[in-house]
Structure 1
Amino acid sequence: MRKIWTAGLGLALLGTLASAAVVGSAGQAAAAAEDPASAVVQTDQGAVRGTVGPEVRSFKGIPYATAERFAKPRPAEGWSGVRDATERGTTCAQLPGYPIGEPSTAEDCLNLNVTTPVGGGEDLPVVFWIHGGSMMVGYGDLYGPDRLAAEGAVVVSVNYRLGPTAFLAHPDLEESGSLALDDQREALRWVRDNIAEFGGDPGRVTLMGESGGGFAVCGHLASPASDGLYRQAVIQSAPCSTPGNASRTREEAEADSEQVIKDLGCLDAEDVAACLREVPIDQLLEKYGTDREPRPVSGTPELPLPVDEALRTGRFNRVPVLIGVNHDEENGMVIGAELATGEPMADADYEAAIRRDDSYGDDADAVLRRYPLGDSAGATLARVRTDSVWAVPTLDTARALSRHTSTRMYEFAEQDTPWYRDLPEPSFPAAAQHMAELPYMFDMALFEDLTPEQAALGARMNRAWVRFAASGDPNGGGEAAWPRLRDDRGRSGWYVQSLSSGDWRRADFAKDHGYRFWSRLSD
């Protein structure tokens, strides 16, 4: 199967669209922190002052670590007085051009946000959100967590190093190659040590990520170094059991980096590491480019096995997992290509697109028979790619997990979803495309405003996610029963909950996405 493009819609469709002040006193902070509705909270580094609204308290841009180029993160230094935490923190270095990201040349960018429900009390479940963007672009503040937090959870979102600053690999760069996971792990340690002061329970932390962030969650599942820092995991749109999707070998990482290092003039330097550390950050970003899918390096103490192997063999941190996929993942990618050319995909181009895709190879005739051209060439191509690249591998991932730990699977199937603000209408419905579930869960200016019906679905989903964060079980709230996926019973045990504005029910997932067809092709 072809390699997954994990930023999905973020990089294919959206690519078509064009620190803190220190005030006050520590004594004042200590007194105010006793009030659970206070805007001031004491952390290990010092006190922070956030904002208090009708439903949530918000603390932004809190430094959890410091970062030097190509080195592992170190805990942030402390400060005196009360640090202002009302403004967003620095975005990690990334190229411009993608609205799911933000152009930046900052390398000392390791900060996080904490959002808590007002009057929520103590020992609340904690959701640790890892943003998507192919581990190339993105930032935590894009995802407004107020609605999720208001359902009864403390939500933490984190900025972590991306692209070349996290993944450039060379024998002389002994600590580089997986720095995104290292940063996230350091942020989890900060949560362990500080989240109780915000009303959170450090023993009930749920990792949650989408797309590139979902693959990061899988990396932490497979990492002994992350064991004990979380109790549940939510994986959204990230089929991690496909080889190469969630990790790569040191050899693969160094091969991917070699040309970049050569283009920077450092490959033949006497001290390659010193040369790379002196390269201006804008040049490093430019030479690395955007046409990559970097992943953490396996074969290390932090990640001994490739992620797919760890999940298949059960050698991962066995915590309850909620995993899912969107019904129409690839719609946005195909629509993005159409918007880039300015016209819908021609019917005559459908067969050619299947035949030139190396992942189908000699099976192209079988694929074309199984998926004949429909009313729209673009929609038909999107369905093929959704099934082969996303749906089938996600069920495989869920099945692998379910053999060793409590696993529940969902499919976000809502068809009337908000479109992107200020983009032309697509030639066919975007439906449950990649990222389509996110505006239901977070406040995101990227999308059109939710209708009341859409907002109601978002509230139902957030309540289920918070129930899972609290107990490892999303059941309750008057919704239909959501059984675990049990692979030992064959297809009858492959329960996938369909999430839409109607009654939640069991999806006919295997049949709908041609699971048997694609499984035979891959054998």
Structure 2
Amino acid sequence: MPAWSARVSSTTARQELPVDSIVSVTGGQVRGFEADGVHAFLGIPHAAPAVGPARFELPRPVVPWTGVRDGSAHGPNCLQSPYPAPVEALLPGVRLLGDEYLNVNVWTPDPAGSGLPVLVWIHGGAFTRGSNAGPVYDGRAFARDGVVLVSVNYRLGISGFTAVPGAPLNRGLHDQVAALRWVRENVAAFGGDPDNVTVFGESAGGMSVLSLLAAPAARGLFRRAAVQSANGSAAATAEDGYRLAARLAQQLGIECTAAAFGAVPLERLQAAQDAIATAMALDPNPAVWGESVLEAGGGILSFFPVIDGDLLSGRPIDVLTTPGHRTVPLLAGWNRDDFRLFVFPVGRDAAITADTLPPLLAFCGLTPDLAETYAASRPAAGPADVFAAIMTDRTFTDDVLRLADHSAAQGIPQYRYEFRWPTPVARLDAGHAVELPFVFDRLDSLPSLTGIDPPQPLAGQMHRAWVRFAVDGDPGWSRYDEPDRKVRIFDHPAAGEVSDPRGAELRALRSSLARRRASAHQ
């Protein structure tokens, strides 16, 4: 953990920090602290504690407090377990249990200022893990550069995304909407402009952003959006969501009701959540879990939003590309090797051979001949490398470009990027989450993922682009438009813009998906 984060986590160190800021927010007053010219206010509730039966209700208003609340320590996060050991070694988690886990952190250059652009961060973690207290999400660099950074905690896993009969669906997304409302009502107290808010997120956080773009309840709460390594397909039918909840109730030996789930001790909830995720990975049978659950999860996710007819009238990508649907200016992209995180560190590469690759692609809804297209431009790649490249495009690239094509045709500013810097760690190359320390300009925060000497010039480029986008909507490269389809490449030392990168492969991917779907309906 970086020294600054360690200081704010330590009771002794907190007492030594120069405390000089008190702001009034919904619920009462909060005292923050200043360090290195940046003011931080940590662990502020944006909703009431969601514990007991309330864990399965809509977020409720903040409970007021008396006196001045201490904002010098990170708040707790939702119930979760570590990643599997190989992934946890790369992405060490922060697990702080407590009732007030629906909270935000705020970093600002000047709480007495006004009109500052605002970035609201939604963390990733497969909708089951993650915390706004992660060192890589430290918002100092954004505040240093004139932006108010707000990071959000929300309900995860069983708490946020289990479709319990009789309980509101998509509670985790409702938490995010509640946090955005909190930002609109309170960010001016930190010098921010509530009319210049950009929401951004990575992985499940990016999927959340796409869901918020599709959700009527979130309209008007942000002006722009940025999405890192995500897709808009992660939403199951409510029917299949209820089927998953029934399996969880059976695992726990309880009735499938909100009251029964709310009475279960936390450690038993967590154990059941982990058991279901393991069982789904070992036996991905549509007859057991529901076809839409497996399609939405893509073999990676076991908990995620459902189509509820309220926040989501369909999968986000389908809603967002409906003829006539308009969205906000969007910066979005992927890491060239995103899917390698889900193949190589966990040892799945050993099972992917020339013989097993064709049926594996068929299982993923693709025609086996697609491997030939990808292998042709990667002569040194083995079957596992080819599989990871195909699944990166299927999972993280295709939806982003479909949305870009749709929105750009309506004249809505769209900016696309591809992150290509290859980390020397764990055969990840430009794998999933490697871009995070670069965007936040916190290269000291994840040496387990980036190695010990990642290139600072690249961090400077990416971080400045995100700051510029928050300020006025222009990250500093060409808009994505037909016919050029310009994409900004982030690499070191090479960088620049490329027209329609790997266009032939992506068109082959879409053709393969279409052929498989047509065959399935015959």
User: Taking structure 2 as the reference length, what is the TM-score of the superposition?
Assistant: 0.80
Change beyond 3 A, Cα 1:504–1:361: closer
User: 1:388: Cα distance to partner?
Assistant: 3.2
Higher mean C-alpha deviation, range 454-463 or range 377-386: 377-386
- Aligned partner of 1:406 among 403, 410, 413: 413
User: Per the alignment, in what secondary structure is the counterpart of residue 69 of structure 1?
Assistant: helix
User: 1:123: Cα distance to partner?
Assistant: 1.0
Q: 1:441 and 2:448 equivalent?
A: no
Higher mean C-alpha deviation, range 273-282 or range 251-260: 273-282
Deviations 1:167-194 (A, max 9, x none): 1213322x1x201111111111111111
CA RMSD of aligned residues (A): 2.8
Change beyond 3 A, Cα 1:517–1:317: closer
Q: 1:144 and 2:148 equivalent?
A: no
Q: 1:126 and 2:93 equivalent?
A: no
Paired with 2:478 and 2:201, the residues of 1 have a C-alpha distance of 22
Match of 1:168 in 2: 162
Higher mean C-alpha deviation, range 208-217 or range 370-379: 370-379
Q: 1:308 and 2:352 equivalent?
A: no
Paired with 1:92 and 1:513, the residues of 2 have a C-alpha distance of 42
8 Å Cα contact 1:239-1:397 kept in structure 2: no
User: Per the alignment, in what secondary structure is the counterpart of residue 62 of structure 1?
Assistant: strand
Match of 1:3 in 2: none
How many equivalent residue pairs?
Answer: 458
Match of 1:264 in 2: 252
- Aligned partner of 1:60 among 38, 42, 45: 42
Match of 2:367 in 1: 363
**Letter in structure 2 aligned against 1:302:** L
- Aligned partner of 2:78 among 78, 92, 104: 92
User: 1:370: Cα distance to partner?
Assistant: 4.4
Q: How does 1:199-348 map to 2 (within 5 A)?
A: 199-240=191-232, 245-267=233-255, 272-289=257-274, 290-291=277-278, 292-313=301-322, 318-338=327-347, 345=350
- Aligned partner of 1:186 among 167, 178, 190: 178
Deviations 1:335-378 (A, max 9, x none): 2133x8xxx738x8244134234345672144246426735444
Name the structure where helix makes up a greater proportion of residues: 2
**Letter in structure 1 aligned against 2:486:** Y
8 Å Cα contact 2:337-2:432 kept in structure 1: yes
Paired with 1:357 and 1:503, the residues of 2 have a C-alpha distance of 33
- Aligned partner of 2:488 among 494, 497, 522: 497
User: 1:250: Cα distance to partner?
Assistant: 1.2
Change beyond 3 A, Cα 1:365–1:247: closer
Change beyond 3 A, Cα 1:314–1:125: farther
8 Å Cα contact 2:317-2:399 kept in structure 1: no
User: 1:154: Cα distance to partner?
Assistant: 0.4
- Aligned partner of 1:44 among 4, 23, 26: 26
User: Per the alignment, in what secondary structure is the counterpart of residue 259 of structure 1?
Assistant: helix
User: Per the alignment, in what secondary structure is the counterpart of residue 335 of structure 1?
Assistant: coil
Paired with 1:233 and 1:362, the residues of 2 have a C-alpha distance of 30
User: 1:382: Cα distance to partner?
Assistant: 2.2
Q: How does 1:345-356 map to 2 (within 5 A)?
A: 345=350, 349-356=353-360
Q: How does 1:91-110 map to 2 (within 5 A)?
A: 91-97=77-83, 98=88, 99-103=91-95, 106-110=98-102
Paired with 1:472 and 1:73, the residues of 2 have a C-alpha distance of 31
Match of 1:380 in 2: 386
Match of 1:520 in 2: 511
Change beyond 3 A, Cα 1:305–1:520: closer
User: Per the alignment, in what secondary structure is the counterpart of residue 50 of structure 1?
Assistant: strand
User: Taking structure 1 as the reference length, what is the TM-score of the superposition?
Assistant: 0.80
Change beyond 3 A, Cα 1:38–1:102: closer
User: 1:464: Cα distance to partner?
Assistant: 1.2
Segments of structure 1 that go 5 or more residues without pairing to the other structure are 1-18, 22-31, 420-425, 476-481
User: 1:493: Cα distance to partner?
Assistant: 3.2
Paired with 1:125 and 1:183, the residues of 2 have a C-alpha distance of 22
- Aligned partner of 2:479 among 459, 472, 484: 484
Paired with 2:157 and 2:504, the residues of 1 have a C-alpha distance of 33
User: 1:119: Cα distance to partner?
Assistant: 8.4
Q: 1:472 and 2:457 equivalent?
A: no
8 Å Cα contact 2:373-2:505 kept in structure 1: no
8 Å Cα contact 2:485-2:499 kept in structure 1: no
**Letter in structure 2 aligned against 1:64:** H
User: 1:452: Cα distance to partner?
Assistant: 7.4
User: 1:392: Cα distance to partner?
Assistant: 3.1
User: Per the alignment, in what secondary structure is the counterpart of residue 349 of structure 1?
Assistant: coil
Paired with 2:104 and 2:111, the residues of 1 have a C-alpha distance of 22
User: 1:398: Cα distance to partner?
Assistant: 2.2
**Letter in structure 1 aligned against 2:142:** L
Q: 1:197 and 2:198 equivalent?
A: no
User: 1:20: Cα distance to partner?
Assistant: 13
Change beyond 3 A, Cα 1:362–1:496: closer
User: 1:287: Cα distance to partner?
Assistant: 1.2
**Letter in structure 2 aligned against 1:39:** S
User: Per the alignment, in what secondary structure is the counterpart of residue 432 of structure 1?
Assistant: coil
User: 1:381: Cα distance to partner?
Assistant: 3.1
Paired with 1:119 and 1:418, the residues of 2 have a C-alpha distance of 40
Paired with 1:107 and 1:358, the residues of 2 have a C-alpha distance of 45
8 Å Cα contact 2:362-2:368 kept in structure 1: no
Match of 1:11 in 2: none
**Letter in structure 2 aligned against 1:473:** D
Paired with 1:370 and 1:454, the residues of 2 have a C-alpha distance of 29
8 Å Cα contact 1:457-1:501 kept in structure 2: yes
User: 1:434: Cα distance to partner?
Assistant: 0.7
